[in-house]
Amino acid sequence: MIPFTVEEYHGRLTQTKLRMQQKGLDVLLITDPANMNYLSGYDGWSFYVDQMLIVSLDRVQPIWIGRKMDANAAKVTTWLYEDNILSYPEDHIHSQERHPMEFIAGVLQQLGLATCRIGLEMASYYFSALAYEKLKKSLPDARFQDASLLVNHVRLIKSNQEIDYIRRAAKIAAIGMQSAITSIQEGVRECDAAATIFKHLISGTDEFGGDYPSIVPLLPAGKNTSTPHLTWTDRYYTENEIVIIELAGCHRRYHAPMARTLSLGRPSEEVTETSKILVEGLNTAIEAVKPGATCEDVEMAWRKVISKYGIEKDSRMGYSVGVGYPPDWGEHTASIRQGDQTILQPNMTFHMIPGLWFDDYGVEISETIRVTETGCEVLTEFQRELIIKDQIDIAI
């Protein structure tokens, strides 16, 4: 069952083709798995080999090309006619003699597209420098142009069905966060807490299941909260340490990320203070979200709060979020930061993540939000303030 109507896919394609025309492109070669999913529905863990969606202005449907053993996955998960699902032979996999891009170039030639103006997703994770070189060499008469993020920009404003999936993801995120708060305590191994979180994120609710998030739960603890992207070990949690939990619920590849900071035992004064500042800043930024405001307006609201307390933060405090595959759930388009003049519009969705990291500790508290017709809706529902598990709680 594809997750959207065929009409919705056609609408996305129309938007994509409009942007292609604006950029003077005849053909767009899509290698970002999130963009492949967005336009075709394709969903399989096969992005570790070369695969592609060909969008051509003169064709109604895109063409999927991937590895032979994955062609049936394309038949099952996409809305494309079987004629538009092509595959390259298995001897192209991790081969020193043959590269999938040579096969793909052959297909483009057969389609009469070898001398066209072709857009490439130059910044896509799974379009390697080698793939680029092979493609250029195999299509010497094509005129290539960087079309990174072209489809990502189409993704910026969500449909109601997409919002519905993100809402479900947000419910799953809250369940995952509750399981984290419950399971993390002195004497428990980090891996066992991570295992419990995973179980809840993947089970989801009785009504809908969870999908794998594009990033695993991030669980820095103690001094390691000074950096955000550590996962877990088999160390035991100790008394009086803080733990940052960043996770996402995911449903049909749509994400709702959320972060909270947990204190085992009474937090230090500086953690308490930093958390309060962070929540005040986050609340103020959320209040600044409304159609017509820019991303940098929202960041300014946050910045004003923290600078009142003498804190500077150079990393962005949010980014657009939606459909995604590992290694990232961010859309790489709009960021909530200085200089980003993206104008907010209804049904844009952001992960607002104002982390503050110092030399020997850090605090992260974040929400996934939707821009509404008049303001902002926070999709992730969970106690926003620093969460304290005191011995009294543990005794209960």
- Indicate the residue among 312 and 396 with the shorter CB distance to a copy of itself: 312
Only segment of 12-20, 220-228, 263-271, 301-309 that touches a copy of itself (CB under 8 A):
220-228
- Is 299 a binder of a copy of itself (CB under 8 A)? no
- Is 241 a binder of a copy of itself (CB under 8 A)? no
- Is 316 a binder of a copy of itself (CB under 8 A)? yes
Contact predicate 256/274, CB 8 Å:
no
Of the candidates 284, 285, 352, the one whose C-alpha atom is nearest the C-alpha of residue 318 is: 352
- Is 16 a binder of a copy of itself (CB under 8 A)? no
- Is 238 a binder of a copy of itself (CB under 8 A)? no
- Indicate the residue among 146 and 390 with the shorter CB distance to a copy of itself: 146
Torsion angle (degrees, nearest 10) of CA 141, 145, 151, 153: -160
**Helix axis angle, 190-203 to 160-183, nearest 10°:** 150
- 3-state SS string for 64-114: EEEEHHHHHHHHHHCCCCHHHEEEECHHHCCCCCCCHHHHHHHHHHHCCCC
Contact predicate 352/282, CB 8 Å:
yes
Question: Residue type at 261?
Answer: T
Residue 111's contacts (CB-CB under 8 Å, 6 or more residues apart) are: 54, 56, 63
Which of 40, 56, 77, 274 binds a copy of itself (CB under 8 A)? It is 77
Query: For 240, which DSSP code?
Result: S
- Indicate the residue among 128 and 284 with the shorter CB distance to a copy of itself: 128
Which of 2, 57, 71, 279 binds a copy of itself (CB under 8 A)? It is 71
- Indicate the residue among 220 and 267 with the shorter CB distance to a copy of itself: 220
Which of 6, 18, 58, 76 binds a copy of itself (CB under 8 A)? It is 76
Of 126-145, binders to a copy of itself (CB under 8 A) are: 126-133
- Is 335 a binder of a copy of itself (CB under 8 A)? yes
- Is 198 a binder of a copy of itself (CB under 8 A)? yes
- Is 4 a binder of a copy of itself (CB under 8 A)? no
Of the candidates 384, 354, 385, 360, the one whose C-alpha atom is nearest the C-alpha of residue 273 is: 385
Which of 141, 229, 310, 312 binds a copy of itself (CB under 8 A)? It is 229
